[in-house]
Amino acid sequence: MISKETIDKVFEAARVEEVIGDFVQLKKSGSNFKGLSPFTDERTPSFMVSPVKQIWKDFSSGKGGNVVAFLMEHEHFTYPEAIKYLAKKYNIEVEETERTDEEKQLADERESMYLVSEYAKSYFEEVLWNTEPGKAIGHTYFKERGFTDDTIKKFGLGYSPDEWEAFTKKALSEGYKLEFMEKTGLTIVKESPGGGKKQFDRFKGRVMFPIQSMSGRVLGFGGRILTNDKKAAKYLNSPESDIYHKSKVLYGIYYAKQAIAKEDNCFLVEGYTDVIQFHQRGIENVVASSGTALTPEQIRLIRRLTNNITVLFDGDAAGLRASLRGVDLILEQGMNVKVCAFPEGEDPDSFARSNSLEEISLYLEENAKDFIGFKASLLMEETRNDPVRKAETIRDIVHSISRIPDRIQQEVYVQECSRIMDISEEVLFNTLAQIGRKDLADANKKYKQERKAKAFEVVKDTGKPAEKVDQQYILERKIIEALLLYGGETEDFEDFILKQDDDGELQLERVVNTSRVFEKIFLDLQEDEVELGNPVFRKVYPELIRQLNEEENFSVEKFVNTMEGDVANEVTSILMDEEKYVLHRWIEKDILVKDKSQGIAQLVSETVLSLRCFLIDKRVLGLQHQTLENKDGNSEILEEIMNYHQLKRLLAKKLNRVL
């Protein structure tokens, strides 16, 4: 267990904008920050971070909360793991007892997979540094690649012994289950011919490259064989699992994320050693697609941090042509792309090894070309003096331009292509329009086919009525909102009391009482012994009243940090509700949204009275049902109904006067 004092220190030190800024590129928007949602695929920002309230809200997915909630949602951390991650980031010491066997068993499946992966990383490192085979084979290989000891330790590189069950036996002896070693792909389990099961290490005799998430969690491994066994793959990756999805992971993103955001550019390479060698030379804003074809998910991962990608290619022409296909995918995501090829026979690893930081930086600066210029120069060399192939090349370039979602950017690229390829802009625009029409026709054809397939499906009437607006939820939410935003403020509340006039008739007389908002709400609801119906609000309401009553300086930030799960999400939604007006830029569109703080007293009085009226109607309805069920003894129930009607009329008068 982590002590409360440690948790308090973590919340005091952690800044939500700093932590989320490690995962999402945030831009200033008034007093807040905004960025692209890390939970959905979007091109227009709907993710808001409030440094003042120390909370975040993702309007596209509905998620929200404090800094810990973000790490739990984004990185699938448990609560203690999120606290430990923040403690490490802000250099706060965490005292924690070691997990018992019982606690290990209670960890869920995904968590168990993360645990065994973390253990495997430390095991492979231990073998590399502290065993004879590790030092003689693994460490020697990394040294031959030009890696320093500091670099090897930074990237957690290791070695898996050239034995069939070395890792598996050791992990089992440490209490890790074979089930999770198999699910992460660290151990292969097969049925043996004589019955029973046979188990062996997947990465036997390989140097190991841990593959980490954006927050540093170990998701899987890449292993390189060091022998000349032609039957074995040179590089072997962990198989797909619940925690490792190759298409959604970039090697080195954990070490590169801050540099990418700072430099506002990401260098994209192919291999593990390319990334490591660049880091060692001092260029840290670099990631690799780990040998797999580039995917939209990987591109979106980069887009959270920057809108600029520079793709670095090996010097061979065949590899260049194959890699250019990934450029179109980057363009489709609306990103800016530059391309840089190294000299013939060189790759990023070898080039970084044989050049200084200044030389590498200068080369990248001078040779990184816009993708149109690069693609044109590459393909034109192959099609020289061949009009047919030149036409194909131009069509290929225009097809790439058609992938760009921004029309202005498209036009600029068409002009550039016209200049380079010596062909009229009119022809290029016509070709672009043809591609657009074809894409539209293909989309329409697919849509019609899908509609035709569903044409004969019978649409069943579920018999369910249209969903009604939950009036009670809305009113209760407004009460919680008033307490959160204005609970400690003092206001003049207009009220009405019953007094007899000279003729003995009861009349409403206006009075003004000065009180704090939370006192007004509490006393008014207490008058009718109202209990909130929503389970989340039932948890929040008494704690809010208690803190507002006991603490001289009530802090919304501190209050949010005490909430967990669905409660924190609901509270965050309430606090960030106004920010959606900023996202939609309504003011720029001449849609003026009234600031609620302009009429706090009216808002509070109206909301409480409306809730009381609603609950009276609900109670009266219940009593009416009782009269139908009971044939006798209804006089007391009818009298109660009359009293409620009288109270409702009184409240209605008050509401009318307030309005």
The CATH number for 148's domain is: 3.90.980.10
Lowest mean pLDDT among 191-205, 332-346, 557-571: 557-571
CA distance 315 to 364: 14
What average pLDDT score do residues 359-373 get?
A: 90
For the ranges 203-212, 400-409, 421-430, the one whose mean pLDDT is highest: 203-212
Model pLDDT, residue 309:
94
The HSE-up count of residue 177 (CA atoms within 13 Å, CB side) is 16
99 within some domain: no
Give the residue from 437, 461, 491 where a domain finishes: 437
| Gyration radius of the chain's alpha carbons | 33
We report the CATH number of the domain holding residue 84 as 3.90.580.10
Asked if the model's pLDDT at residue 161 lies above 90, the reply is: yes
Domain that holds residue 158: 105-242
Residue-wise pLDDT for 40-52, tens only, equals: 878 788 899 988 8
Task: State the average pLDDT over residues 283-311.
Answer: 88
- 507 and 536 co-located in one domain: yes
Q: Give residue 98's pLDDT.
A: 61
Q: Could you please report the per-residue DSSP string of 67-128?
A: HHHHHHHHS---HHHHHHHHHHHTT-----PPPPHHHHHHS-HHHHHHHHHHHHHHHHHHHH
- CA atoms of 561 and 312, how far apart (whole Å): 44
Domain membership of residue 450 (yes or no) is no
In-domain check, residue 337? yes
Please, where are the H alpha helices in 184-332?
Answer: 253-263, 272-281, 296-303, 317-332
Residue 591 has pLDDT above 50, yes or no: no
Confidence band (pLDDT; 50, 70, 90) for 444?
low
**Cβ 515 vs Cβ 491: under 8 Å:** yes
Q: How far is the first Cα of the chain from the last one, in angstroms, to the nearest whole number?
A: 53
With contact defined as beta carbons under 8 Å apart, do 430 and 359 qualify? no
* Domain end residue (candidates: 176, 209, 242): 242
Instruction: Give bridge partners of residue 155 from the DSSP assignment.
Output: none
Query: Given 89, 117, 144, which residue is the final one in a domain?
Result: 89
Q: Tokens 């919304």 belong to which residue?
A: 556
One domain for residues 275 and 212: no
Tally helices (H) and strands (E) across the chain: 29, 18
pLDDT-derived band at 318, boundaries 50, 70, 90: low
Q: Identify whether the C-beta of residue 93 lies closer than 8 Å to the C-beta of residue 604.
A: no
DSSP state of 271: S
Q: Model's pTM, two decimal places?
A: 0.68
Q: What is the CATH number of the domain that holds 302?
A: 3.40.1360.10
- The sign of the dihedral angle between the CA atoms of 231, 145, 216, 165 is positive
463 domain-assigned: no
Residue 33 in any domain: the answer is yes
Structural domain contains residue 98: no
Q: Which whole number is the average pLDDT over 619-629?
A: 73
Instruction: Tell me the average pLDDT of the chain.
Output: 81
- Report the pLDDT value the prediction gives residue 65, as an integer from 0 to 100: 86
Helix, coil or strand: residue 34? strand
Question: In angstroms, what CA-CA distances link 591 with 31, 209, 600?
Answer: 20, 54, 22
Give the start-end residues of each E strand in 176-259. Answer: 187-191, 197-201, 206-212, 218-225, 235-237
Same domain, 295 and 192: no
Residues 234 and 265 occupy one common structural domain: no
Please state the rounded mean pLDDT for residues 175-184. Answer: 94
One domain, residues 79 and 128: no
- DSSP β-bridge partners for residue 267: 286, 310
Task: Examine the domain organization and report whether 132 and 63 are in the same domain.
Answer: no
Maximum mean pLDDT: which of 67-76, 125-134, 613-622: 125-134
- Residue 58, in any domain of the structure: yes
For residues 52 and 151, state if they share a domain.
Answer: no
User: For position 590, what pLDDT does the model report?
Assistant: 46
Cβ(482)–Cβ(601) below 8 Å? no
Cα separation, 624 vs 561, whole angstroms = 45
Do 259 and 331 sit in the same domain of this protein?
yes
Specify whether 271 is located in the same domain as 129.
Answer: no
Regarding whether 274 and 231 lie in a shared domain, the answer is no
pLDDT for 592: 43
Residue 470 is which amino acid?
D
Torsion of CA 453, 458, 463, 468, to 10 degrees: 20
| pLDDT exceeds 90 at position 146 | yes
Give dist(CA 253, CA 285) in Å, integer.
Answer: 9
Do 269 and 400 lie in one domain? The reply is yes
Statement to judge: residues 75 and 133 lie in one domain: no
Render pLDDT for 119-134 as a digit per residue (tens, 0 to 9): 999 999 999 999 999 9
Count of domains forming the chain = 4
List, in sequence order, the alpha helices (H) in 455-534: 471-486, 517-527
Which DSSP string do the residues of 526-550 spell out, in sequence order?
Answer: HHTT---SSHHHHHHHHHHHHHHHH
User: How many Å apart are CA 613 and CA 171, to the nearest integer?
Assistant: 65
Q: Does residue 442 sit within a domain?
A: no
Query: What is the three-state SS of 257-269?
Result: HHHHHHHCCEEEE
> Distance between CA 429 and CA 422 in Å, rounded?
14
* Average confidence (pLDDT) over 327-331: 85
Is the separation of the CB atoms in 211 and 245 below 8 Å? no
